[in-house]
Amino acid sequence: MRNIFTIVGRELRAYFISPIAYAVLTMFALLSGLFFVDYLGRVMQMAMLAGMQSAQFGGQAPPMDAPGTLMKAFLGTTGVVLLFMTPMLTMGLFSEEKKRGTMELLLTAPITDLQIVLGKFFAASTFMIVLLGTTWVPVSALYFYAKPASGPILVGYLGMFLYGLAIVSIGMFISSATESQIVAGIITFGVLLAMWMSGSFVQGVDNPIIKGVFDYLAVVNHLDDFVKGVLSTTNVIFYLSLTLLGLFLTYRSIDSLRWRG
C-alpha cells in the first residue's frame, strides 16, 4: 500500500509541476462554470415564462423544481467536458515513462506491476476528483440561494465519479500502449468520443441486439440515470466493469512491455 502511495505522491507532484494540470483545471472550471451560468439563465427564463403564462390564464403556476432541472442539465454537460479533459490527464501516465526510460526504474524497483498500475490510476483519479470538486463553486451558490434536493445531486456526483474512473482507466491503458503522449491523447480522445456517440451509430439499425450493444456501450448514456437522481445497479456495474477492464488491460500491457523490452 505504501508503495502505491509513493507512486501516487510522485504523480500528483508531477501534475502540479507541469503546466498541463493548471491548464486542465482552469479550462474545466471555466467551461463548466460557463455552462452553469448558461443553464441558470435558461432555467430562470423557463420559470419566468411559466409564471407569466399562469398569470395570464389565471390559477397557480405549475410546480417546478428549478434547481433540480438546472443540476440535471449541468451535470450532463459537465460529463461531456470531463470526457474532453480526461485524455490530458491520462496521456502521459505511462507513455512519458516509457519515452524517458524511467519505466526501467519502476519495473526494477521492489514493487509489483499492480502497485505501479494502481498508483498511477489513483493519482489520475484524484486529479479527476479535484476537477469535479471545482464544480462545487457554482453548485454551492445554488445552495446559497435556493434549496435544491441533495439526494439527486449526490447520486449525480456519484455517477460522475464512477464515469470518471472508467474513462481514466481507459485513458491509462491507451497511454501504456504507446511512447508518445500526444498519440495517447489523440487516441484516448477518439475512443472516448466514439464511445460517447456509440448509440447514434446504430440509429437506423433494426437488429435489436446490435442496437442494444451499441446503446449499452455509449459511455455517457449511463450517466443520464444518475443525473436524474436514479441509482441503478446496471449503470454502477457498467462503469465499474469498464474501470476494471481498463486496469486489467493496463496491467497486461505492462507485462507485455517487460517481455518485449
Binding site for another protein (CB under 8 A): 2-3, 6-7, 9-10, 13-14, 17-18, 100-112, 258-261
User: Quick one: which of 77, 78, 71 has its CA closest to 148?
Assistant: 71
CB nearer to another protein: pick between 38 and 255: 255
Longest dimension (CA), the chain: 77
Nearest distance from C-beta of residue 181 to another protein, angstroms = 13
Min dist. Cβ of residue 93 to another protein (A): 13
- Check if the beta carbon of residue 49 is closer than 8 Å to that of residue 61: no
For 173-204, letters b (16+ CB in 10 Å) and e give bbbbbbebbeebbebbbebbeebbebbeebee
Q: Kind and range of the H or E element at 94?
A: none
- CB 19, min distance to another protein, A: 11
Q: How many CB atoms lie within 10 A of CB 26?
A: 11
Q: Which is nearer to another protein, 147 or 260 (CB)?
A: 260
| Nearer to another protein (CB atom), residue 60 or residue 108 | 108
The residue (of 54 and 102) whose beta carbon lies closer to another protein is: 102
In the complex, the smallest distance separating the C-beta of residue 4 from another protein, rounded to whole angstroms, is: 11
CB-based burial label for 14 (10 Å; 0-12, 13-18, 19+): middle
Does residue 212 contact residue 128 with C-beta atoms inside 8 Å?
no
Which CB atom, from 42 or from 258, has the smaller least distance to another protein?
A: 258
Which CB, 220 or 254, lies closer to another protein? 254
CB atoms within 10 A of CB 116: 23
Angle at 1 between CA 134 and CA 256, to 5 degrees: 90
Min dist. Cβ of residue 29 to another protein (A): 24
Residue 12 or 191 with smaller CB distance to another protein? 12
User: Within 13 A of 184's CA, how many CA atoms are on the CB side?
Assistant: 28
List phi, psi (to 5°) of 47. Answer: -65, -40
CA–CA dist 131, 32 (Å, integer): 10
